Amino acid sequence: MTDISPLAPKQFPEISPVSGVRFVTRGVGVKYKDRTDLMVAELVEGSSIAGVFTKSLTASAPVDACRAALKAGKGQARCMIVNSGNANAFTGKKGSASVERIVTAAADVFNCTPEEIFTASTGVIGQPLPDSKITNALAEMKDHLGEADFEAAAKAIMTTDTFPKAASKTVQINGVDVVISGIAKGSGMIAPDMATMLSFIFTDAKIAPDVLQAVLRDATDKSFNAITVDSDTSTSDTVLFAATNQAAHDEITSYDDAALSDFKAAFEELMIDLAQQVVRDGEGASKFITVTVTGAENDKAAKTIALAIANSPLVKTAIAGEDANWGRVVMAVGKAGEKADRDKLQISMGGVMIAGEGEAVDDYDEGPVAAHMKGQEIDVLVDVGIATGKATVWTCDLTHGYITINADYRS
């Protein structure tokens, strides 16, 4: 069994159930033995759904199907079906046919239209999905809906993850309590471009599909699109956000409705929490790294620079080795392709300024920085001296463990 990441939470968080959502999980042997690998989430009739997906040009068959269902079904959903162990990506017409068979069978079992069924797959790329193992289990699973909780659902969608990931918030809309609870999986092949990574979030709030989509899109940019483990964008990245519309408040039909402000803030916090958990489970990770860039031409430029730092193997390996090698940060800023003033550039680690005005700080004491680098939480701050643009991204270090995990992944 894989050791749990040293950056993992001490325990699974307390997750509030969401009215109108029922889970069931099974081990059907898609790839793994002696563990669950199939999760079904049933949504009450009348539920809304929103989704964001990978921008990869080699997207998986389930991603294509979800995009089509989201459009054809006009944001309505009854069921999510998610398997681990096989990504059903780069499987050609066979992959599309397998998704169609799953959707058709599920629509029959759950008595809804095919457009209300959303599927996701994660795991090995390029191997046909044994979809009969999934379809043969659906009828029996329906009879046991509600037996699984959020923790069981989170475990069923794991691949190289070392711990299940979930988060929950309670917030008010027009004086009515509403719940937001979600799960995620991801450990390797993680880079922001949507965001293998999957996340499924549920709320009982009453929100129109177009508003739900806008809320999800904005929060994704500040969360899953602000993380990176290894700079590789998955073929399968999917985030689905479902609203069961069970809460006793009037439907929110405008993104700008003041009643939605607290909900949007809480949802963004939950998304950032889930995204950071993915980084904390980065394959082989021993350190969680926060990279903040200020003084850029604009926020977009700041994010580009921050990602250049966060994705640099040289920066990540230096941090793994607990070496405050700020020269590698200088390198990463320079290669980012955004405006930066070499002679105004400032670099701090652990709150201590190391370099400024184009050179190392005179008489800088490396002691506090060396002590900071030995910890598990590493902070890097860079000001590029151009304007007021700023951004924060999260990543992890790069260790021998990453090579070990990925060298053995298909076996």
Task: Determine if residue 406 is labeled as part of a ligand binding site.
Answer: yes
Q: What's the pLDDT score for residue 188?
A: 61
Query: Residue 275 — very low, low, confident or very high, per pLDDT cuts 50/70/90?
Result: very high
103 occurs within a structural domain: yes
More confident residue, 389 or 190: 389
251 occurs within a structural domain: yes
Query: Residue 409 — very low, low, confident or very high, per pLDDT cuts 50/70/90?
Result: low
Task: Determine if residue 294 is labeled as part of a ligand binding site.
Answer: no
Q: Does residue 336 carry a pLDDT above 50? A: yes
14 occurs within a structural domain: no
Report the predicted TM-score, pTM, of the whole model to 2 decimal places.
0.93
Quick one: 69 and 163 in the same domain?
Answer: yes
Lowest-confidence segment of 93-107, 255-269, 349-363, 380-394 by average pLDDT: 349-363
Q: What's the pLDDT score for residue 233?
A: 63
16 occurs within a structural domain: no
Q: Does residue 4 carry a pLDDT above 70? A: yes
Quick one: 269 and 297 in the same domain?
Answer: no
Quick one: 32 and 139 in the same domain?
Answer: yes
Query: Residue 369 — very low, low, confident or very high, per pLDDT cuts 50/70/90?
Result: very high
Q: What is the mean pLDDT of residues 185-214?
A: 82
Q: Which of 196, 233, 235, 399 is catalytic?
A: 196
27 occurs within a structural domain: yes
Q: What's the pLDDT score for residue 410?
A: 56
Q: What's the pLDDT score for residue 58?
A: 87
Q: What is the mean pLDDT of residues 23-30?
A: 97
Q: What is the mean pLDDT of residues 381-385?
A: 97
156 occurs within a structural domain: yes
Q: What's the pLDDT score for residue 1?
A: 46
Quick one: 301 and 275 in the same domain?
Answer: no
Q: Does residue 40 carry a pLDDT above 80? A: yes
Q: What's the pLDDT score for residue 403?
A: 79
Quick one: 230 and 296 in the same domain?
Answer: no
More confident residue, 5 or 235: 5
Kind of pairing between the strands at 38-53 and 238-243 = antiparallel
User: Cα 258 vs. chain centroid, distance in angstroms?
Assistant: 27
287-325 pLDDT tens trace: 999 999 999 999 999 999 999 999 999 999 999 999 999
Q: Does residue 25 carry a pLDDT above 90? A: yes
Quick one: 256 and 316 in the same domain?
Answer: no
Q: Is the Cα torsion angle 50, 51, 52, 57 positive or negative in sign?
A: negative
**What does R_g of the chain's alpha carbons equal in angstroms?**
22
Which tokens belong to 368? 């506090």
Q: Does residue 55 carry a pLDDT above 90? A: no
Quick one: 346 and 400 in the same domain?
Answer: yes
Buried/exposed code over 293-318 (b: 16+ C-beta within 10 A; e: otherwise): bbbbbbeebbbbbbbbbbbbeebbbb
119 occurs within a structural domain: yes
CATH code, domain with 367: 3.10.20.340
State the total domains in the chain: 2
Quick one: 35 and 97 in the same domain?
Answer: yes
Quick one: 304 and 348 in the same domain?
Answer: yes
Q: What's the pLDDT score for residue 151?
A: 98
- Residue carrying structure tokens 């040289």: 314
Which of 253, 280, 307 is the last residue before a domain boundary? 280
Kind of pairing between the strands at 377-383 and 352-356 = unpaired
- % of the chain beyond a pLDDT of 70: 95
- Domain containing residue 322: 288-407
Active-site residue 196, yes or no? yes
Q: What's the pLDDT score for residue 160?
A: 85
More confident residue, 23 or 364: 23
Which of 231, 248, 280 is the last residue before a domain boundary? 280
Task: Determine if residue 233 is labeled as part of a ligand binding site.
Answer: no
83-111 pLDDT tens trace: 999 999 999 999 999 999 999 999 999 99
Lowest-confidence segment of 167-171, 201-205, 278-282 by average pLDDT: 278-282
Quick one: 359 and 376 in the same domain?
Answer: yes
Query: Residue 383 — very low, low, confident or very high, per pLDDT cuts 50/70/90?
Result: very high
Quick one: 295 and 241 in the same domain?
Answer: no
More confident residue, 379 or 401: 379
Which of 246, 280, 314 is the last residue before a domain boundary? 280
Task: Determine if residue 411 is labeled as part of a ligand binding site.
Answer: yes
Q: What's the pLDDT score for residue 282?
A: 83
Query: Residue 272 — very low, low, confident or very high, per pLDDT cuts 50/70/90?
Result: very high
Quick one: 317 and 221 in the same domain?
Answer: no
CATH code, domain with 66: 3.60.70.12
Q: What's the pLDDT score for residue 366?
A: 85
Tell me the pLDDT of the chain averaged across its residues: 93
- Phi and psi for 9 in degrees, rounded to 5? -60, 155
54 occurs within a structural domain: yes
Task: Determine if residue 225 is labeled as part of a ligand binding site.
Answer: no
Kind of pairing between the strands at 176-185 and 346-349 = unpaired
